[in-house]
């Protein structure tokens, strides 16, 4: 009888441990991983072909479209102090790239539409931007500016 009682206690603790482990695994599955690395994009991977007939988006850009990505670059000087968008460039710029048409779009810039207003940084400071990637020619209805690549609902931080 004592053997049965000890056996039952052991199996009871085993069941509690197993149940606790399963419960923990379930909650870990439900909660998204914090700090999980986002796909990183670089300026040299925007296009698979750059030529006289225009730009051809890379397979990577097409695959990541609609996903949240991160990229590092420099903030081009904003047109207005109060704006919810800016242009991210590969190298620091002194002028705004929006003077170009759709056909003349520079291959090493990305338009950033912020999820909320942030204080802009100097154009010679590298920043990290996170947002949802979109590609294809699009005209901003508010400004009339045309872009080929954009990050929406973005935020940035200084490095």
Q: Provide mean pLDDT across the span 35-53.
A: 87
User: Which one, of 129, 154, 150, 135, lies nearest residue 71 by Cα?
Assistant: 129
Q: What is the pLDDT of residue 128?
A: 96
> Does the pLDDT of residue 97 top 60, yes or no?
no
- CA 96 – CA 69 distance, rounded (Å): 24
Q: Are 139 and 93 in contact (CB under 8 A)?
A: no
- CA 72 – CA 12 distance, rounded (Å): 54
Q: What's the sign of the alpha-carbon dihedral 129, 83, 120, 88?
A: positive
Confidence of residue 50 (pLDDT cuts 50, 70, 90): confident
Q: Provide mean pLDDT across the span 14-19.
A: 57
Q: What is the pLDDT of residue 16?
A: 62
Q: What is the pLDDT of residue 122?
A: 80
Q: Provide mean pLDDT across the span 52-60.
A: 88
Q: What is the pLDDT of residue 4?
A: 52
> Does the pLDDT of residue 96 top 80, yes or no?
no
Task: Give the mean pLDDT of the chain.
Answer: 78
What's the pTM value of the predicted model, to 2 decimals?
A: 0.71
- CA 40 – CA 131 distance, rounded (Å): 11
Q: What is the pLDDT of residue 98?
A: 53
């Amino acid at each position: 009888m004592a053997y049965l009682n000890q056996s039952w206690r052991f199996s009871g603790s085993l069941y509690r441990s197993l149940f606790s482990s399963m419960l923990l695994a379930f909650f870990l599955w439900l909660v998204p991983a914090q700090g999980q690395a986002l796909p990183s994009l670089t300026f040299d991977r925007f296009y698979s072909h750059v030529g006289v007939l225009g730009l051809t988006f890379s397979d990577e850009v097409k695959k990541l479209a609609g996903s949240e990505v991160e990229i590092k670059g420099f903030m081009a000087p904003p047109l207005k102090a109060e704006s919810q968008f800016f242009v991210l460039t590969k190298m620091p710029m002194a002028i705004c790239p929006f003077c170009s048409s759709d056909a003349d779009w520079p291959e090493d810039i990305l338009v950033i539409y912020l999820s909320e207003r942030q204080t802009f940084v100097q154009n010679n400071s590298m920043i990290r931007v996170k947002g949802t990637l979109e590609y294809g020619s699009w005209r901003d209805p508010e400004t009339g500016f045309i872009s080929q690549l954009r990050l929406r609902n973005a935020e940035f931080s200084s490095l």
